[in-house]
Amino acid sequence: MRLFLSWVVVAATAVSAAAQPAAPRRLTLTEAVQTALDNNFNVRKAENSLELQDELELNAYGQFLPSVNGNLNTTRRTGRQFVQEQLRYDDFTTTSGGGGLQVNLPLFTGFQNISNLRGTQARKVSTSEGLRRTKENIIFTTASQFLGVLLNEELVVISRQNLESARRQLDQIRAQVEVGMRPIVDQYNQEALVANAEYDLIQRENAVNLSKVQLIRTLNLDPLLDYELVTPGVDESDLVVNTYDLGGLVQQALVNRSDIRSEEAAIKANRFALQAARGSVLPTLSASFSLSSGWSNQFREPAPGGGFQSVSYGDQFFDRNITRSMSISLQVPIFNRFNTRANIARNRVAYENARLDLEDRRLSVLQEVRQAYNDYLAYSKQLQTTQTALLAATKAYETEQERYRVGATTLIELTRANTEFINARSNRVRAMYQFLFQEKLLDYYIGNIDESIGF
Task: Of 18-32, 139-153, 180-194, give the lowest mean pLDDT range.
Answer: 18-32
- What pLDDT does 423 receive? 86
Q: How many CB atoms lie within 10 A of CB 178?
A: 10
Q: Is residue 304 part of a domain?
A: yes
- What pLDDT does 209 receive? 92
In the chain, the N- to C-terminal Cα span, in Å, equals: 62
Average pLDDT on 330-340 reads: 91
Residue 319: give the domain boundaries: 67-108+284-332
Q: How many CB atoms lie within 10 A of CB 143?
A: 24
Percent of the chain residues past pLDDT 70, beyond the cut: 91
DSSP state of 309: E
What are the two backbone dihedrals, phi and then psi, of residue 106, each rounded to the nearest 5 degrees?
-75, 125
Q: Is residue 207 part of a domain?
A: no
Q: How many helices (H) and strands (E) does the chain have?
A: 10, 8
Half-sphere exposure of 444 (CA within 13 A, CB side): 25
**Per-residue pLDDT band at 309 (split at 50, 70, 90):** confident
Structure confidence by residue, pLDDT tens digits, 225-260: 888 888 766 666 667 788 889 999 999 999 999 999
Angstrom distance (rounded) from CA 433 to CA 149: 11
- What pLDDT does 180 receive? 83
Q: Is residue 98 part of a domain?
A: yes
Angstrom distance (rounded) from CA 386 to CA 379: 10
Task: Of 61-75, 109-123, 155-169, give the lowest mean pLDDT range.
Answer: 155-169
Asked if residue 296 lies in contact with residue 94, where contact means CB atoms within 8 angstroms, the answer is yes
Q: Is residue 195 part of a domain?
A: no
Number of domains in the chain: 1
Structure confidence by residue, pLDDT tens digits, 20-64: 556 778 888 888 888 899 998 999 999 999 999 999 999 999 999
Asked if residue 445 lies in contact with residue 366, where contact means CB atoms within 8 angstroms, the answer is no
Higher pLDDT, 199 or 18: 199
Average pLDDT on 430-446 reads: 86
**Per-residue pLDDT band at 5 (split at 50, 70, 90):** very low
Distance of CA 32 to the CA centre of its chain: 15
Q: Is residue 8 part of a domain?
A: no
Q: Is residue 275 part of a domain?
A: no
What are the two backbone dihedrals, phi and then psi, of residue 244, each rounded to the nearest 5 degrees?
-115, 150
Q: In this structure, is the dihedral angle defined by the CA atoms of residues 293, 297, 298 and 300, taken in order, positive or negative?
A: positive
Asked if residue 286 lies in contact with residue 113, where contact means CB atoms within 8 angstroms, the answer is no
Asked if residue 120 lies in contact with residue 55, where contact means CB atoms within 8 angstroms, the answer is no
Task: Of 44-58, 188-202, 256-270, 311-325, give the lowest mean pLDDT range.
Answer: 311-325
- What pLDDT does 91 receive? 80
Smallest CA-to-CA distance from 126 within 370, 349, 361, 440 is with 361
**Per-residue pLDDT band at 86 (split at 50, 70, 90):** low
Q: Is residue 295 part of a domain?
A: yes
* Residue 274 pLDDT greater than 90, yes or no: yes
pTM of this structure = 0.78
- Taking CA atoms, 55 is separated from 59, 354, 400, 423, in Å, by 6, 24, 74, 59
CATH code at 301?
2.20.200
Hey, which residues does 296 pair with through a beta bridge?
A: 96
Smallest CA-to-CA distance from 361 within 244, 265, 248 is with 265
Dihedral angle computed from the Cα positions of residues 417, 418, 419 and 420, in that order, rounded to the nearest 10 degrees: 50
Q: Is residue 311 part of a domain?
A: yes
Asked if residue 443 lies in contact with residue 449, where contact means CB atoms within 8 angstroms, the answer is yes
* Residue 10 pLDDT greater than 50, yes or no: no
What DSSP line would sit under 140-184, residue for residue? HHHHHHHHHHHHHHHHHHHHHHHHHHHHHHHHHHHHHHHTTSS-H
- What pLDDT does 85 receive? 55
- What pLDDT does 3 receive? 47
Smallest CA-to-CA distance from 260 within 85, 126, 59 is with 126
**Per-residue pLDDT band at 18 (split at 50, 70, 90):** very low
- What pLDDT does 411 receive? 78
Higher pLDDT, 236 or 167: 167
- What pLDDT does 352 receive? 96
